Chains A and B, each alone.
Chain A
Amino acid sequence: MELIRVQFKVNGEQVDLSVKPYETLLETLRNRLELTGTKEGCGLGSCGACTVLLDGIPVRSCLLLTAEVNGREVTTIEGLKQGDKLHPLQEAFINHGAVQCGFCTPGMILTAKALLDRNPKPTRSEIIRAISSNICRCTGYKKIIEAIESVVQKGER
């Protein structure tokens, strides 16, 4: 099988890889780049656990071929912290108890980040609409919504 050369940025760092044409971005992130913060849930695009940002837009990395991201910029949950300091959304999720098992958390935070980047002052219904893309099966959405709202109120992001 012929390999495809792809060059793209992950969390600000340039990577240059030869990948199989049928390799998903999720597989590349987890298995080659050891960025295991991105989770595989359903593998079919329904649950949102594998959400990463592609040029700032949330995407299901399980539905994306790595070959498709050539020349693009990918952000995973590992790319949010600045130095030793967590991203305000990460801090807020901890402070509001918005993390229980944690499996949906990376996707949930990245979906929220994309929302705040395009709309810094979302209403509660806009927050709900955005995170409806991600399934949480244990924390419950209330604390997640409160965590995001606290970041909106403080004007951090």
Chain B
Amino acid sequence: MKLPKFLYFRPKTIEEALATFTAYDGNAVYLAGGTDLIPRMKLKLKKPTAVIDLKGIGELKNVRLEDHKVVIGPLVTLFELSKTPMIKERFPALFEALISTSCETLQMRGTIGGNILQDTRCLFYNQSEFWRKAKGACLKTGGERCHVTGAKECLSNYMSDTAPALLSLEASLKLVGIEGEREIPLKEIFTGNGIFPLSLRPGEILYQISIPNEPSKGGYEKLRLRGSIDYPLLGIALSGSAEKVKVAIGGIGPAPKVWEGKLEDLPSSMEKLSQEIKAIANTILDPLYRRHMIPVLSRRLAKRVFGN
């Protein structure tokens, strides 16, 4: 399978990367591990003029403890992060999400930044150009209507395993762009619109991910067909204590859903949420089944983390 033509750049600094992005008038993409971007380029879903490889920028690669937070560089691979003792000890939800992402070899290449900033997915979107041409363009590829619902709303699925875990841990992102830097809670990166699921400004680079340094109980449950390698068809992360748990649900729709409350209220809240959440037939599993599994997996998770 061939890649489309592009130019390749490997800057050594953030400034150089931003200047290259500007020079190509925004028709450039940043490359980290490539496990999400390269397949999308091969499918011609993305045809940039320039690919800017961020791996030459050393400051994006470390994990450290800083004041009251754990700061993670976006280029740390999922595998490296899962082997960092601090992560396993303090943030079990994140640890479980890391080791359940894809397969071990891809965890060794895929980065935490790229995993958070991955595009949404759909049975009608992640297909070859030939396949898509035969079907005609869907909403996300510039067409008039969604192929599944016929409506003008794109409900492609955001399938990061780590982002729900990070949401349950109240992580924040520091972004550096052409117009300066900003720090936002992770949940603000999601637009809820499947066509443009991320609120990144043109040229912005994820500079670091911060998690409040408060050891938590927690875990991650994932619905998938193959245990060996699969995207989540539903992913539920939970962190906190019995008095206050934070739950984030991914894999259904363009943005994860977050719920916070007492552990005793979790089952009824998840029942309610499963009724309200919009799920459509755009994955290999039936949407009703995926919704039904929200209370099932969240109960299972709560029982595993907190006992009976």
Known: A22-B5, A63-B34. A46 touches B229 (CB 8 A): yes
A88 to B34, CA, bound (A): 32
Contacts across chains A and B counted by CB atoms under 8 Å: 80
Contact with A along B28-55 (1 / 0, CB 8 A): 0001001100110011000000010101
A46 to B108, CA, bound (A): 14
* Interface assignment of A65: CB less than 8 Å from any CB of chain B: yes
B6 and A45 within 8 A (CB): no
Q: B51: which A residues are within 8 A, CB to CB?
A: 21-22, 65
* Interface assignment of A44: CB less than 8 Å from any CB of chain B: yes
A129 to B107, CA, bound (A): 12
Q: A60: which B residues are within 8 A, CB to CB?
A: 35, 105-106, 109
In the assembled complex, the CB of B81 is this many whole angstroms from the nearest CB of chain A, namely: 15
* Interface assignment of A57: CB less than 8 Å from any CB of chain B: yes
A133 and B105 within 8 A (CB): yes
In the assembled complex, the CB of A104 is this many whole angstroms from the nearest CB of chain B, namely: 13
Count residues of A near B (Cβ-Cβ below 8 Å): 31
Closest B residue, CB atoms, query A59? B109
Q: B229: which A residues are within 8 A, CB to CB?
A: 46, 132-133
* Interface assignment of B3: CB less than 8 Å from any CB of chain A: yes
* Interface assignment of A98: CB less than 8 Å from any CB of chain B: no
Interface residues in B1-16 (C-beta closer than 8 Å to A): 1, 3-8, 10
B106 and A22 within 8 A (CB): no
* Interface assignment of A68: CB less than 8 Å from any CB of chain B: yes
Q: A130: which B residues are within 8 A, CB to CB?
A: 104
In the assembled complex, the CB of B221 is this many whole angstroms from the nearest CB of chain A, namely: 18
Q: A129: which B residues are within 8 A, CB to CB?
A: 104
* Interface assignment of B150: CB less than 8 Å from any CB of chain A: no
Q: B4: which A residues are within 8 A, CB to CB?
A: 22
A134 to B5, CA, bound (A): 29
Interface residues in A123-139 (C-beta closer than 8 Å to B): 129-130, 132-134
Q: B268: which A residues are within 8 A, CB to CB?
A: none
* Interface assignment of A101: CB less than 8 Å from any CB of chain B: no
Closest A residue, CB atoms, query B230? A46
A44 and B228 within 8 A (CB): no
* Interface assignment of B261: CB less than 8 Å from any CB of chain A: no
A67 and B10 within 8 A (CB): yes
* Interface assignment of B136: CB less than 8 Å from any CB of chain A: no
* Interface assignment of B277: CB less than 8 Å from any CB of chain A: no
In the assembled complex, the CB of B275 is this many whole angstroms from the nearest CB of chain A, namely: 34
A133 to B104, CA, bound (A): 6
B7 and A63 within 8 A (CB): no
Q: A106: which B residues are within 8 A, CB to CB?
A: none
* Interface assignment of B58: CB less than 8 Å from any CB of chain A: no
Q: A152: which B residues are within 8 A, CB to CB?
A: none
Closest A residue, CB atoms, query B10? A67
Known: A63-B34, A132-B228, A133-B229. A58 touches B108 (CB 8 A): yes
* Interface assignment of A2: CB less than 8 Å from any CB of chain B: yes
A–B complex contacts, Cβ < 8 Å, 9 sampled: A22-B8, A44-B42, A58-B105, A58-B108, A59-B109, A60-B109, A65-B31, A65-B51, A133-B103
**Which residues does A use to contact B, with CB under 8 Å?**
1-2, 4, 20-24, 40, 43-46, 48, 51, 57-60, 62-65, 67-68, 111, 129-130, 132-134
- Closest 8 CB pairs between A and B? A43-B1, A21-B8, A132-B228, A133-B105, A133-B103, A22-B3, A44-B39, A63-B38
**Contacts beyond the supplied A45-B106, A63-B34: 11 A-B pairs with Cβ under 8 Å:** A4-B8, A21-B51, A22-B4, A40-B1, A63-B109, A64-B34, A64-B109, A65-B31, A130-B104, A133-B105, A133-B106
